[in-house]
Amino acid sequence: MKPLLFFGVVFMACNPHKVTENPAPPVSLSESFASASEGALPEKWWEDFQSEQLNDLVEKVLANNLDLRAAWARYQQARVIIAPAKYWMLPEVGYNARYTNQKTRLDFGEQGELFPKIEFFSAALQAQYEIDIWKRLYSQKPKVILQAGAFRNQVSAVAMTLAAQTTEAWVGLVTIQSQKRLLAEQLDLNQRYLELTEKRLARGIGGLTALDVFQQRQQVSATKAAILQLESTRLQLLGQLALLVGTSPSHFTLEVPSELPAVPKLPGLGLPSDLLSRRPDVRAAMQLVEAADHEVAIAVASLFPRLTISGAVGPNARSSSGLFDSALWNLVVGITGPIFNRGVLKAQVRRQKWAVQEQLANFGKTLLVAVNEVETSMGSLKAQEAYMAESSTRVDILEKTVKTARSRYEQGTVDYLVVLTSLQALQQGQVGLLQLKRQQISYYVQLCRALGGTWTSELKSHKKMKLQSLENNK
């Protein structure tokens, strides 16, 4: 017994593998982003569009989306393992009870036969405890906690993506309504121009030809076709929103406004290192690195001897009446260790170390992707602002061009083709400017999603997960 205690003290002073908590990323980060912004870091950024309809949509998606429910279920699967983990270091306690009733035949030849009956009662309370010298059992709990934490962060990542997808689909619908309104105005103008050219041709005024009328009719027809084409896109976006909300398109309707919201003020970017805490996918990747490191600790501990103490106590007797008259007990202290399979265990250690390297590489890539998304979105947003300003100036010029061409045509200095060409350019420019504004909002949404946030921590109390019946839900 004394040698075992001596080795136990020596072993406990050793640390075969030290797990690195909050591992550093394998890539270097710059001190700041290439672009700068003085605004606050975004949280529930979609609320900055000042639309109650959009806010309600996002809330419905976060409450009912099936992808998010699946992510919650994966987290719950990992979470249920945490509670039992605290019992892994406690003794294993069990019991058994036996009753034996046996009758045998003894043949004594001429002296006859005997049929003795044997009855035996026994019961025992058994216990076994492993002294966790190398922290093989201790490493199990932080490992499952970290894995569950990674699943929780994946829930947050899904929620952030869903908020962005919902906003983009809603903005797409609003853009279609805005474009419908714009095309309706253009159609009305084109029809008035068509009526005017037809009357002038009939009266022989302005040098118009049948070709000029046909070209104006083609402009009217093209505008009508563009309006009809928008309906197909609208139905597709409605289907996307229905899927996000977790319902069928036939059960989902939405009347959106016909004017795009203003782009909110640019959010602050913070520092690249802030993404380590604000991006849930980055946090999950870091937790998986640390969890894999705990796997290494478990594998290393398996190379060393295990010290166990086991015992049992309980009564046994030849009859039920004497069951509690006598009791047996035993206490065993043992040490076991690998010999022939040590090479297999060493290979397992090497495998787990390479698993850490794999998770570390994933961690670095995830972080670089996050930084790149912020840089790209911010750069695209600023470039889009400049592009929109120039495009708006161009549309103003085209409006003046149409007025001038119309005036010159009425004066007889230019033919109608000049009017038609400038009108087509103006109407295309107006539609293009609308699409540019939508793209600007899209870049803003992408930037806010790339910056992450802490608002998803509220999701844990937003909706309680319940096991659903497998029967048809009617």
Q: Is 6 among the domain residues?
A: no
Q: How confident is the model at residue 117 (pLDDT cuts 50, 70, 90)?
A: low
Q: How confident is the model at residue 84 (pLDDT cuts 50, 70, 90)?
A: confident
Q: Provide the pLDDT for residue 149.
A: 94
Q: Give the mean pLDDT of 366-374.
A: 96
* Most confident stretch, 122-131, 155-164, 242-251: 155-164
Say which range, 197-206, 258-267, 388-397, 426-435, has the weakest mean pLDDT. 197-206
Q: Give the mean pLDDT of 144-166.
A: 95
Phi, psi for 433 (deg, rounded to 5): -65, -35
Q: Provide the pLDDT for residue 109.
A: 64
Q: Give the mean pLDDT of 376-397.
A: 94
Residues 62, 106: one domain?
no
Q: Provide the pLDDT for residue 114.
A: 64
Residues 325, 202: one domain?
no
Q: Is 5 among the domain residues?
A: no
**End of a domain among 337, 356, 389?**
337
CATH of the domain at 317: 2.20.200.10
Say which range, 25-34, 103-112, 218-227, 311-320, has the weakest mean pLDDT. 103-112
Residues 327, 437: one domain?
no
Q: Provide the pLDDT for residue 238.
A: 94
Residues 388, 243: one domain?
yes
Distance CA 100, CA 387 (A): 92
Q: Is 470 among the domain residues?
A: no
Q: Strands 92-103 and 306-317: what pairing?
A: unpaired
Q: Provide the pLDDT for residue 4.
A: 47
Q: Is 4 among the domain residues?
A: no
Neighbouring-strand partners of residue 308? 130, 334
pLDDT at 90 over 60: yes
Distance CA 108, CA 204 (A): 142
Q: Provide the pLDDT for residue 343.
A: 87
Sign of CA dihedral 149, 155, 161, 164: negative
Whose structure tokens read 């106590």? Answer: 313
Contact 316, 122 (CB under 8 A): yes
CATH of the domain at 159: 1.20.1600.10
Residues 271, 232: one domain?
yes
Q: Is 139 among the domain residues?
A: yes
Q: First and final CA of the chain: distance in angstroms?
A: 68
Top-confidence residue, 200 or 54: 54
Residues 151, 294: one domain?
yes
Whose structure tokens read 């380590």? Answer: 276
Q: Give the mean pLDDT of 188-203.
A: 86
Average pLDDT, the chain: 86
Q: How far is CA 122 from CA 138, 311, 320, in A?
A: 35, 16, 9
DSSP letter at 121 equals E
Q: Provide the pLDDT for residue 110.
A: 67
Q: Provide the pLDDT for residue 463.
A: 47
> Each residue of 4-44: pLDDT tens digit?
444 444 444 455 888 889 999 999 999 888 877 777 888 99
Three-point CA angle 278, 284, 289, nearest 5°: 125
Residues 444, 348: one domain?
yes
Phi, psi for 121 (deg, rounded to 5): -115, 135
Residues 124, 238: one domain?
no
Q: How far is CA 463 from CA 62, 65, 68, 161, 403, in A?
A: 9, 12, 11, 18, 59
Q: Provide the pLDDT for residue 123.
A: 77
Helices marked H in 19-139: 52-64, 66-79, 82-85
Residues 167, 120: one domain?
no
Q: What Rg, from alpha-carbon coordinates, does the chain have? A: 38
Residues of the chain with pLDDT > 90: what percent? 52
* Long-range contacts formed by 37-42: CB under 8 A, 24+ apart: 37/266, 37/267, 37/268, 37/269, 37/378, 38/268, 39/265, 39/266, 39/267, 39/268, 40/267, 40/268, 41/267, 41/268, 41/269, 41/270, 41/274, 41/278, 41/451, 41/453, 42/267, 42/448, 42/451, 42/453
pLDDT at 455 over 60: yes
Residues 408, 318: one domain?
no
Q: Provide the pLDDT for residue 280.
A: 96
Residues 178, 192: one domain?
yes
Q: How confident is the model at residue 195 (pLDDT cuts 50, 70, 90)?
A: confident
Contact 381, 440 (CB under 8 A): yes
Q: Provide the pLDDT for residue 467.
A: 62
Q: Is 473 among the domain residues?
A: no
Q: Provide the pLDDT for residue 257.
A: 92
Distance CA 446, CA 373 (A): 8
Say which range, 196-200, 205-209, 244-248, 276-280, has the weakest mean pLDDT. 205-209
> Each residue of 297-349: pLDDT tens digit?
888 888 888 888 888 887 766 665 655 566 677 888 888 888 888 889 899 99
Phi, psi for 37 (deg, rounded to 5): -150, 140
Residues 34, 77: one domain?
yes
Q: Provide the pLDDT for residue 9.
A: 45
Q: Is 2 among the domain residues?
A: no
Query: Comparing C-alpha atoms, which of 323, 290, 305 is closest to residue 134?
Result: 305
Top-confidence residue, 203 or 385: 385
Q: Is 469 among the domain residues?
A: no
**End of a domain among 337, 358, 380?**
337
Q: How confident is the model at residue 1 (pLDDT cuts 50, 70, 90)?
A: very low
**End of a domain among 337, 359, 381?**
337
Distance CA 56, CA 49 (A): 12
Q: Look at the chain and report how many structural domains it folds into.
A: 2
**Which residue range(s) make up the domain with 124?**
91-131+305-337
Q: How confident is the model at residue 148 (pLDDT cuts 50, 70, 90)?
A: very high
Query: Comparing C-alpha atoms, which of 169, 177, 146, 360 is closest to residue 256?
Result: 177
Q: Provide the pLDDT for residue 7.
A: 47
